[in-house]
Each structure stands twice: as structure tokens, then as C-alpha cells.
Structure 1
Amino acid sequence: MPKIVDHEKYRKELLWKSFDLFASKGYASVTMREIAKELGVSTGTLYHYFPNKEAIFLQLVEEQYQQEIINFLAEAGDIKYVPERIRALVNFTEKNEEYFINQILLWSDFYQQQGKSEVLNNEILKQVAQKMREELLEYLEIQDKTIADFVVNFLNGLICVRMFEGEMVSYEEQGELLVKMVSVYLGNG
């Protein structure tokens, strides 16, 4: 009896394994052949699922976004008020800091290889960014897109600063400042 393969599940497994390779070596320095070798599959199998390295990256971005939302919502639970919700976001970011650092480094490498225009005009990246902000607005239960942008920019900036300054910058202190700033902006503080 032939082995039944769940192709979608297998494709996702390949994506997640490729993240580790991209994170350790960088987007620019790996080839499809190296990816296949590292994943333990033939290049033919890899090309069956992905037409090229860029497709792997873009599908990985989509998959990561979806999984991050699932993981965060499962971890955060049912929180009532905006300040606690922001604290949950900061705590999730801190808990997964190494993963987010690797993600930022990979995205930066992709940006460097593709160029500003290609990245800014990429429909998949635009859709993922839009969905992420919509999910954030829904989670925070606010209507102001400016807040979602600010929170995302704040957390990404915090991760980047900690890459170079480490423990000198505290998630807890910065998170509380973020809570105060958003509360004042929303008129709750």
C-alpha cells in the first residue's frame, strides 16, 4: 500500500525547517540545492513544493505570521483591558526574542537582496503587514490604525535595540512606558 502524504503538512514542515537554515546562514547565501540538502530532500522534491528561494521565503513569512497569531492568542488568553493586552504583547515578544531577532535579520537580508522597490511592491508582504495590523487592532479592540502601527514599530525597535544593548534595555520598563503612552493617547491615562 502506498504511503499517503499530507502535502500541505509536509510543505509547512519544509518551510519551518528552512527558517532555521535562513536564520543561521542568511537569505542571500543559501541556494535551493543547499536548502534541499539541509532539509534532507531532493532538489526535485523542493522544486515540487516551491518554484524558487523567494517563494520559500514569502510562503514562510505567511506561515510565520499565521502561526505567531495562533501562538500569541493561545498564550495570552482572554484579557479584558488594553493595558493588560499590551503587556501580553510585550511578554510574548520577550519570551520569543531570539526567534524575532532571527526573523528581523532574515527579513533585512531579503530586503538587501531584493531591493527597496521590490519589497515595498510585493503583494504578499503587503497583505501580511495589513493582516497583522488588522489582527492587532482587533486584539486591542481599538479602531485607530495609528496605534497598531505605533505598537508594531515600538516592539520591532525594542527588539533591534536589544540586539545591540541586550539587558541594558528592559522589556518590563519599556512595556510599561508603552502602556502609559497608549493609555494617554486613548485618553485613559
Structure 2
Amino acid sequence: MAIVVEHDKRKHEILQKSLDVFIDEGYEDATFQKIADRCGITRTTLYIYFKNKHEIFLGSIKALLSDLEIKLKSIMKDETLSAEVLLRKVLRLLAASCEENKKLYNVLLNYLMQLKKSGIDTNERVRRRTIRLRHLMSTILIKGIQNKEFKDLNVKDLNEILYGLLEAGMFRIAVLNQNNISEIDNALNTVVDSIKM
């Protein structure tokens, strides 16, 4: 009797477990064999789902971002929240995500540095991955301005300030090895306080 394999479920499990391999080993030292071993499958089976390590890594990052996006959308669905509370909740979730994924940001930073050395525009790569996040924050800011909760300031500039603070938090965690980003969290709240009407 043949064993029925749920391919989408298995692919998702591989992406989750491979993320641990990248975190534990680093991007350079993570191998197809190590990923297959962690997943309890053979390399041949792993090749059914992915062409190479790069594809697995990008899939793992995309899965992590998708999970974060689901949480963000859940917050956004609550129409009872004011724009201010909404913005604070979203920023807190993003800051907490930075803390929770400290090791991943180290791997991601090393990966981006490798791309940069090979002449790839890392800014464009990161921008493509974060465009939805930037749009989400702009949506909240616009809602707050329209509802007279926030001052009528340039949304693009505000978005850059908030996003820049989040990037600073990631830098502090990935490069400076800080264990938390409470200072960034405080700075984000100060910005929200300063734009309130």
C-alpha cells in the first residue's frame, strides 16, 4: 500500500526545520545534507521540493514573513482600534519579532553581505520584501491623519522614521548582540506620541 504524502504540508515542515539549520549553522555552513537530516528525509527527497539551498533559505524567510503578515493582518482587522492603538500594536509586534528572531537576523545579515559582495543590489532585495509592511504603516498613518488622531504630516517621511527605527533595532540585535530593543521600542512610542493631535 502506497503512503500518501501531503506535499504542501511537508514542504512547509521542511521550511520550518531548515530555518533552524540556517540559524544553528549559518547560511554558508548549512548544507542540503544537514537540512535533510534535520527534516528526517533523504537528500533525494529534499530535491523533490527544492532545487538548492538558496531556494530553501528564501522559502524559509518568506514563510517567516508570511506568518508575521498573518499576525499583522489580524491586528488590522480589529476595526474598533484607533489608528494610534493600531500603530502601537503593529510596531510592538514588529519590535517583538526582532527580539524573537535574533539568530535569524545574524544569518540574514551575513547572507545580505554575501549578496552585496557579489554585486547584487541588497537595498532593492530588502525593499521588495518589506513593501507590504511599509504600505501597512502608511495605511495606518493615513487613517490616523484622516481621523484627526495624528498631525497632518508627510506620511512617507513618517514611514521612513518608523521603519528606520525598526531597522536600527534589527542592527542592534544582529550586529551589536543586544538582547532586547527596549530603547527602540521606547523611541517608536515617542514618535507616535509626537505625531498625536
Over 3 Å counting, the alpha-carbon distance change for 1:138 and 1:7 in structure 2 is farther
In the TM superposition, residue 32 of structure 1 has moved relative to its aligned partner by 1.1
Aligned-residue identity in percent: 21
Contact 1:32 1:43 in 2 (8 A): yes
Match status 1:178 vs 2:156: no
Over 3 Å counting, the alpha-carbon distance change for 1:139 and 1:62 in structure 2 is farther
In the TM superposition, residue 150 of structure 1 has moved relative to its aligned partner by 2.8
Q: Which moved more, 1:84-93 or 1:37-46?
A: 84-93
Any idea what the Cα deviations from partners look like across 1:6-40, whole Å, max 9, x if unmatched?
Answer: 21221111111111111122111111111111221
TM-score (norm 1): 0.78
Amino acid at match of 1:175: L
TM-score (norm 2): 0.75
In the TM superposition, residue 45 of structure 1 has moved relative to its aligned partner by 1.2
Match status 1:160 vs 2:171: yes
Contact 1:82 1:140 in 2 (8 A): yes
Contact 2:98 2:170 in 1 (8 A): yes
In the TM superposition, residue 108 of structure 1 has moved relative to its aligned partner by 0.6
Matches within 5 A, 1:1-189: 1-74=1-74, 78=78, 80-115=81-116, 117-120=119-122, 126-141=127-142, 144-161=155-172, 164-166=177-179, 169-170=182-183, 172-181=185-194, 183=195, 188-189=196-197
In the TM superposition, residue 139 of structure 1 has moved relative to its aligned partner by 4.5
User: How many residues in Structure 1 have an aligned counterpart in Structure 2?
Assistant: 183
Q: Secondary structure, in 3 states, of the residue corresponding to 1:115? A: helix
Give unpaired runs (5+ residues) of structure 2.
144-153
Give unpaired runs (5+ residues) of structure 1.
none
CA RMSD of aligned residues (A): 2.9
Over 3 Å counting, the alpha-carbon distance change for 1:65 and 1:139 in structure 2 is farther
Q: Which moved more, 1:87-96 or 1:55-64?
A: 87-96
Q: Which moved more, 1:128-137 or 1:58-67?
A: 128-137
Partner Cα separation in structure 2 for residue 103 and residue 141 of structure 1: 32
Partner Cα separation in structure 2 for residue 2 and residue 12 of structure 1: 22
